[in-house]
Amino acid sequence: MKLIILDQAGVINQSSDTFVKTPDEWIAIPGSLEATARLTHAGYRVIIATNQSGIGRGLLDMATYNAINDKMYKAVSHAGGRIDAIFFCPHTQTDNCACRKPATGLFGEIMQRYGVNLSSVPAVGDSLKDLHTAAAVGAIPMLVLTGNGPITQQSGELPENTRIFADLSAVADALVGTE
């Protein structure tokens, strides 16, 4: 089974300093939906692992988060792709939970649900949290230069062997080629 783990905001959709709080605020990054479709067609199971502290902060409730995800699912499907599952942490940084990246709890849940080791699984993100979580479980950290990617790249704190790509479309090109 081929898996790829994606962060949500900054990888698939545009991120916001004030959080994506409604379906109307969810805007796909150009090319991300088509890239997800290409990964799907190449046999990848596309999994999202995302921190969603806006829920814990009371900025949106679960019904609204589900509506945002429904919009994303439909947009990806319309492009010909599929998202197999979303694993999310609703907690804030002060909750000290085991699931908020850079903790590895979400990735542990993925391993348990799919019965796989994540070594050599590509894990795509735009922040140090995403990359350090990937490295901690032996996944391949992949930085995209969308969202917070440029700031992350300049941090000088990238895990060893981090691969850098312009966007999710470039990741798909590297993994499945261009057609």
pLDDT at 17 exceeding the cut of 90:
no
- Cα–Cα distance between 72 and 136 in angstroms, integer? 28
- Beta partners for 122? 140
Helix (H, G, I), strand (E, B) or coil at 56: helix
| Fold adopted by 2-176 | Rossmann fold (3.40.50)
Confidence of residue 26 (pLDDT cuts 50, 70, 90): very high
Q: Which pTM was predicted?
A: 0.96
Taking Cα atoms as reference points, which of 71, 86, 85 lies closest to residue 23? 71
Read off the pLDDT of each residue in 8-27 and give the average, rounded to a whole number: 94
Looking at residue 18, what is its pLDDT? Answer: 85
Confidence of residue 43 (pLDDT cuts 50, 70, 90): very high
- Cα–Cα distance between 11 and 40 in angstroms, integer? 16
pLDDT at 179 exceeding the cut of 60:
no
